[in-house]
Amino acid sequence: MPLTPDRVNRQVLLNARPVGFPVDTDFKMVEALVPEPALGQLLIRTIYLSLDPYMRGRMDATASYAKPVQLGSVMEGGTVGEVVASKHDQFEEGELVLSANGWQEYAISDGQGIRKLDPSIAPVSTALGVLGMPGMTAYVGLLEVGELKVGDTVVVSAASGAVGAVVGQIAKIKGHRVVGVAGVQKKCTYVTDELGFDACVSHQSDTLAVDLAAVCPDGIDLYFENVGGKVFDAVLPLLNQFARVPICGRIANYNMTSPPEGPNGVPHLMGLILIRRLRLRGFIVWDHADSAAEFIREVGGWVRSGQLKYREDIVDGLGNAVTAFQGMLRGRNFGKLLVRVSDDKTR
C-alpha cells in the first residue's frame, strides 16, 4: 500500500545518545505506515504526548530507573489518545485512553496497561499532568516520602512546573508555610499570586541563598528536590534538624558530562545529614502505585473544587516535540508541557 498522508505514522526516534545537552541530530523524524490492529489489538491515535524531564535519563546508555531507550527506537513517553480501530473486545472506536505510546502519531496496543479516560470528569490532558504521573509524584513525594508534618515549612524547586505546583498547593491546602523556587519573574508571580504560595524566589538571582533565607525565617523542614545544583546548595544551610528531602529530580544536572569542579562537597553534606539528622530519600512514583486510588480521590477532589489549580503549556505538532523538550531542559516551558499531536475533539 502507498504511504498516503492518511496512512502515515510520523515517529521521533532516538538517533544518537546525547552528549550533554540533547541536540537536534540526536533525534530523527521518520514516516512509517500506520499499522493495522490484529485480533486482540487496538490502534490508538495520539492526541497528547507528555514531555517530562525523566526522559533525558532514558536517552543515556546507562540504566536510570528503567532500561534506556534503544537507538533507532521510538522515544518513550506517556500519551493520551483515541482508539481509532479495535479488534479488542474491551475497547471501542472513539474511546479515549491513557497509554505510553511514545513520540509518535499512532500506536498499536494489546490493551495492557491502558486506562480509559472520561472527558466529562476532567479534561483528558490532565491524565498526563495534575491527575497523572506528575501529580501523583507530587502527592506521594510530599506526603509519603517527605512525611509532611504539622508545622513544616516546605520549600519546592521548579515550583511552577507540573510536579512543583502540585507539591506546593497540597502543602498550602494542609496549612503549611510554602516557599517556591522558580526561574523567571512571571513564574514566581504565578506561584504566589495564582497558586497561593507564601513566597517564591528566583534561582536566577545572584543572591539566591540570601533571598531564600529571608523568606524562610524558621528554616526549612521539608525540601522537595526537583532541581539540584545551586538551588540545593542554597537550601542546604537552611535545613532544620530532622528535615526531610524527598529527591524527585535534579534537572540542573541531567546534561552534565563530567562532575563539576571542586571542592568536593560530599563530606560537608554528610556532616550536615549526621548533625541535623536529615533524611534524604530518592523516590519514583511507580514504587507507590498502591496510593493511586487515594491520590485520584483526594487530588481529583481538589481540582474539581478549584482548590488546586494547574497550568498546561501545549505545543502543537509532533514536529515541535524536540524543540519543546530542549526548551523544557532550559526551563522555558510554563506549566505542564504537552505536545498536541492531533486534535483534541473533547475541548
**Contact positions toward its own copies, by CB under 8 A?**
57, 64-65, 225, 228-229, 232, 247-250, 253, 256, 258-284, 287
- Pick the closest to residue 22 from 322, 306, 310, 286 (CA basis): 322
- Pick the closest to residue 153 from 203, 84, 212, 223 (CA basis): 223
Name the amino acid, one letter, at 169: Q
- Pick the closest to residue 331 from 245, 240, 254, 241 (CA basis): 254
Phi, psi of 2 (to 5 degrees): -75, 160
Shortest Cβ distance from residue 277 to its own copies (Å)?
Answer: 5
Q: How far apart are CA 145 and CA 297, in angstroms?
A: 19
| Residue closer to its own copies (CB basis): 37 or 331 | 331
Shortest Cβ distance from residue 116 to its own copies (Å)?
Answer: 30
Give the orientation angle of helix 164-173 with respect to helix 292-305, to 10 degrees.
Answer: 80
| Residue closer to its own copies (CB basis): 236 or 315 | 236
Task: List residues bridging with 45 in a β-sheet.
Answer: 82, 106
CA-based angle 155:283:180, to the nearest 5? 15
Q: How far apart are CA 168 and CA 155, in angstroms?
A: 8
| Residue closer to its own copies (CB basis): 262 or 306 | 262
| Residue closer to its own copies (CB basis): 129 or 246 | 246
| Residue closer to its own copies (CB basis): 98 or 220 | 220
Shortest Cβ distance from residue 19 to its own copies (Å)?
Answer: 17
User: Residue 329 is inside which H or E element, if any?
Assistant: helix 321-329
Shortest Cβ distance from residue 259 to its own copies (Å)?
Answer: 4
Q: What is the DSSP letter of 330?
A: T
| Residue closer to its own copies (CB basis): 100 or 247 | 247
Shortest Cβ distance from residue 54 to its own copies (Å)?
Answer: 10
| Residue closer to its own copies (CB basis): 39 or 275 | 275
What nine digits make up the cell of 112? 495492557
Q: What is the DSSP letter of 225?
A: B
Shortest Cβ distance from residue 32 to its own copies (Å)?
Answer: 32
Shortest Cβ distance from residue 171 to its own copies (Å)?
Answer: 21
